[in-house]
Amino acid sequence: MKQVHYASGLFIAAFVTLHLVNHMIALSGAEAHIAFMNELRNVYRHPFVESLLQAAVAIQVISGIRLFFRKRKTAAGSWEKLQLWSGLYLAFFFMAHITAVLAGRSVLKLDTNFYFGVAGLNSFPLNLFFIPYYALAIMSFFAHVAAIHHSKVQGSVLGVKPETQSKIILGTGAVLTLLVFCGLTNYFRGVEIPEPYRVLTGK
């Protein structure tokens, strides 16, 4: 089960990395974000690729939850515990996020683009939920990667010990989280949500 979990995780990690790059491009504005997303969609919205990605997420969530309950009482050390708890939050986030996107596409008939993702993030009081919801997702991803890196890497790289390498990964995640939020909130000035997407905020 660990091998299946790890293999599906690598596939998902590649997609998440591209997704985060897409969000970083929002630093240049919503139009740039949407343009880059449309290019990526030529790949991940292909029926085969999308089905493969959804299957990988399902495998990741189910195996991850099983591994969490199997190992939570025997986990030793802060890194192993961080791996378990960050994985549990990612499982919750994947289920919630994918359900929301599929509902937006099939029920609300919305293009689940930049504005779909940031509607709640730029509307009070919904942002009181969505700020920690998204921030914890990004940080959990980097925490999970950092913990796995710590467990698998044995030697130093350029004189940097594995412990420090993992801390650098965590620090990188924190910086990228801040930058992503700058882009998704127009540098915290707020984003004007188009009329079709206001159904998401009730405004």
Instruction: From 169, 79, 176, select the one nearest 135 (Cα to Cα).
Output: 176
| Coil/strand/helix, residue 160 | strand
CA distance linking residue 149 with residue 182, whole number of Å: 28
CATH of the domain at 161: 1.20.1300.10
Cis amide bond preceding 125, omega within 30? yes
Q: What is the spatial distance between Cα 60 and Cα 66, in angstroms, rounded to a whole number? A: 10
Q: Give the residue carrying structure tokens 């897409």.
A: 22
Number of domains in the chain: 1
Q: Is 155 helix (H, G, I), strand (E, B) or coil?
A: coil
Judge contact between 110 and 116, C-beta under 8 A.
yes
Q: 23 near 184, Cβ under 8 Å?
A: yes
pTM: 0.95
Q: What is the largest CA-CA distance in the chain?
A: 54
Region of 141 on the Ramachandran plot (φ > 0 left; ψ -120 to 50 alpha; else beta): alpha
Instruction: Give the structural domain span for 119.
Output: 2-200
Q: Given a cut of 90, is residue 203 above it in pLDDT?
A: no
Structure tokens at 59: 């495998």
C-alpha–C-alpha distance, residues 81 and 118, integer Å: 31
Phi and psi at residue 160, to the nearest 5°: -95, 125
Q: What tens digit of pLDDT does each residue of 88-136 get?
A: 999 999 999 999 999 999 999 999 999 999 999 999 999 999 999 999 9
Nearest Cα residue to 57 out of 4, 108, 106: 4
For residue range 28-80, list pLDDT tens digits in order: 999 999 999 999 999 999 999 999 999 999 999 999 999 999 999 999 899 99
127: tokens are 């942002």
Which helix (H) or strand (E) element contains residue 16? helix 2-25
